[in-house]
Structure 1
Amino acid sequence: MFALNSHIKKLSLIAIVIAFSVQEVVAQSTYAERLGWPKGSRVLILHVDDAGMSFDSNQGTIEALEKGVANSFSVMMPCPWVSPMVKYIKENPTVDAGIHITLTSEWETYRWGPLAGQKRVPGLTDKDGCFWEDVGQVRKHASSKEVGREIRAQLKRASQMGFYPTHLDTHMGTVFSKPGYLLKYIHIGKKERIPIMFPGGHNSMLLEQVKTRDLSELDKAKFIYANDQASAKLMKMMKLAQTLGKKVWNAGLPVLDDLHGMSQDWKFPDDMEITDSTLQEWFSGKYQESLSRLKPGLTMVIMHCTKTTDLFKEFSGSGNRRKGDMLAMMDPKFRKFLEDQGFILTTWREVMERRAKVGKQRFKNVNMDLLATVFLN
């Protein structure tokens, strides 16, 4: 759930609000428990974003899955390298493959546009007919109706190719950047019976990430609390994520307890010699240190595993970070760490199967007035 400013990812407003709901829900049973795992279990989805974006992205995704411990990924349907990735999915039908809903095109010299067509979603496109480069421009120009149309166009493209996603998530956190977009995302997931990435639990790790961010954007947030400062808005909005999580659960979809996307912000030492060996050791160590602090619950760990080549450097300077993600997943020491720590690995496919077995179990107390206040104001 991240918004990008240029190529630097920043947590979106809705993500910030969700993260600060931790104080409200930490004492409740986790969604992992509701899905049938024993109390106290730490359950992980080790998820690779950005499959289909490039040849290097595809190769890194596949190696992290086949040679490493990554067990889930999602595909950017508007991107040029989707066809080979879908071919891989069809040849390996048990893989956990979702759609990485893509509403932005962030690289300066490597770009893509909407599958719905520019005429149907003009607010999603810039002067070149491509998606906007950053989330802020999407929020400024695109309507919720256009976002809904493009999500459905990406689902349709996948279906036409014979690819039926196990889940939906979001590139650069765009669907979490505006209430109307989020409602479309939830509604489509509910109607199509496809799990959506939504962290509605204690969000302890997400909160840890948010604490390093600039919260000044909250001062500009209107909602109903327009006259409050950021800290006051946070206090008044803490229950929003908990309420939304309950609504998603009541719709028959699973909900995450937490979200870990920390690797995008890790800065390796300036004097570190960049080799495959040093990248693997450093990133693996950072994953072990951060995951050891995870609280019980169902957590999605987001990474961008990429087998970077010189071609990748032509449009992105993030190659070493992405390669570090891939190498960490392939590190035998990281695999042993997961085993020693007692983590349970799962997939979106299994999570939805468990949610279906739970049946019509519902939260009785969902504050619909709160949702109406925030989303309809």
Structure 2
Amino acid sequence: MKKSIFLSLSLIVFFWASSSPARGQTYAEKLGYPKGKKVVIFHVDDAGMSYESNQGTMQSLDFGIATSCSIMMPCPWAANFIHQAKAHPEWDLGLHLVLTSEWKTYRWEPLAGKQLVPGLHDPDGAFWHTVEQVVQHASPEEVYIELKAQIERALRLGLKPTHLDSHMGTLFAHDKFLEKYIQVGVEYDIPVMFPGGNNVLLEESMTAPIIRKLKAEGKYHDGMPIPKPEILLKSQALGKQIWEMGLPVLDDLHTISGDWKPDHAHSHEELGQYKVDQFKRILEKMEPGLAMIIIHSIEYSDFFKRFSGSGDSRYGDLLAMTDPELKSYIEKEGIILTTWREVMERRKRLIQP
């Protein structure tokens, strides 16, 4: 595999029915997992974002069913997490590539500096708050420079990332950003999170917020068809391209556990149980193949509330990850838990002479 490969999305003709692993082998089967099995990476996002995020991530990996995590390198607590993780070489540590800084009062800045990536800086000098602002102001070349800066910082700190993924999905919001994401993965020989299979859970993840918005506006009725987002229409063809470049590909991806909230007032224990039930629901819903399920665990603290209203939900994720009921369910159903490290090792064995 040549590291100089440049993927041009404009040269790919996307057909929904083309080369679909869902109609033949799943990517899990291609990687050597048993046919018909559900293989899952429980993945903790946002390590490095805060002390609470670091503690929640470590507890999810140490005492829970989480098998992987990714670190936000521009954030203040990233180096702390990496230094602590050196005592746990078995942990599966990737990079949560950052192009946004979403909170009002707690911000982080691009690592490449304003001279090299001016379009990634908002008037405060931090990343822009929203994905839409990044798409409006930043060039693909600036994105590429910043992604490399984040990877290089991790390498300087002694971390060889097991994979790359995208904070707030920004790298999936623009075709040229997606090109650069895949390009750095190929250049550094690091797997990129990309769902190119049946995408049953990804479709739920992408359409549920649309339905919720329409319901709030009084514009939704049961059975109302929701158009498939563009990424779903082209994901299988692009997944095939990534696989042919020598990197592993997911069959599915779930991204919205942070949106799960009971309809009634709840205690933390009730929220944890609610999330356990929801994780069991999506594990039942997923089709055989390799899926990544994203969570956001924190150790609970009142301080976290000073910059984010998501603390209860994130603590609920930690409670679910460490709940014996969910672990027992996974074992009973014969679901295989894996890591990005193992997935890449399996992919490499397929291309070695």
- With structure 2 as the length reference, what TM-score do the two structures score? 0.88
Amino acid at match of 2:244: N
Amino acid at match of 1:293: K
**How many Å apart are 1:83 and its aligned residue?**
1.7
**How many Å apart are 1:23 and its aligned residue?**
9.7
> C-alpha distance in 2, partners of 1:96/1:266?
26
Paired position in structure 2 for 1:10: none
1:78 to 71, 74, 80: 74
3-state SS in 1 of match to 2:23: coil
> C-alpha distance in 2, partners of 1:343/1:168?
24
What are the superposed Cα offsets for residues 264-315 of structure 1, whole Å, 9 maximum, x if unpaired? 221212332x23x222211111111221111000000100011120110000
Paired position in structure 2 for 1:323: 315
**How many Å apart are 1:208 and its aligned residue?**
2.2
Paired position in structure 2 for 1:312: 304
Contact residue 21 and residue 202 of structure 1 kept, 8 A: no
How many residues are aligned here?
325
Is the counterpart of residue 55 in structure 1 residue 55 in structure 2? no
1:296 to 288, 298, 314: 288
Paired position in structure 1 for 2:6: none
> C-alpha distance in 2, partners of 1:280/1:207?
24
> C-alpha distance in 2, partners of 1:24/1:193?
24
Paired position in structure 2 for 1:340: 332
**How many Å apart are 1:205 and its aligned residue?**
1.0
3-state SS in 1 of match to 2:86: helix
Contact residue 163 and residue 191 of structure 2 kept, 8 A: yes
1:184 to 176, 180, 185: 180
Amino acid at match of 2:57: T
Contact residue 56 and residue 318 of structure 2 kept, 8 A: yes
**How many Å apart are 1:212 and its aligned residue?**
2.4
Runs (4 or more) in structure 1 with deviation over 6 Å come to: none
**How many Å apart are 1:28 and its aligned residue?**
2.2
Paired position in structure 2 for 1:209: 205
1:1-377 alignment to 2 at 5 Å?
A: 21=16, 25=20, 26-214=22-210, 231=227, 240-272=234-266, 274-275=267-268, 277-359=269-351
- With structure 1 as the length reference, what TM-score do the two structures score? 0.82
User: Which ranges of structure 1 fall in alignment gaps of 5 or more residues?
Assistant: 1-13, 15-19, 216-229, 362-377
Amino acid at match of 2:23: A
**How many Å apart are 1:209 and its aligned residue?**
2.5
> C-alpha distance in 1, partners of 2:232/2:86?
42
Paired position in structure 2 for 1:227: none
User: Which ranges of structure 2 fall in alignment gaps of 5 or more residues?
Assistant: 1-8, 10-14, 212-225
> C-alpha distance in 2, partners of 1:66/1:317?
26
**How many Å apart are 1:125 and its aligned residue?**
0.7
CA RMSD in angstroms, aligned pairs only: 2.1
> C-alpha distance in 2, partners of 1:212/1:47?
20
> C-alpha distance in 2, partners of 1:171/1:251?
23
Identity %: 49
**How many Å apart are 1:65 and its aligned residue?**
0.8
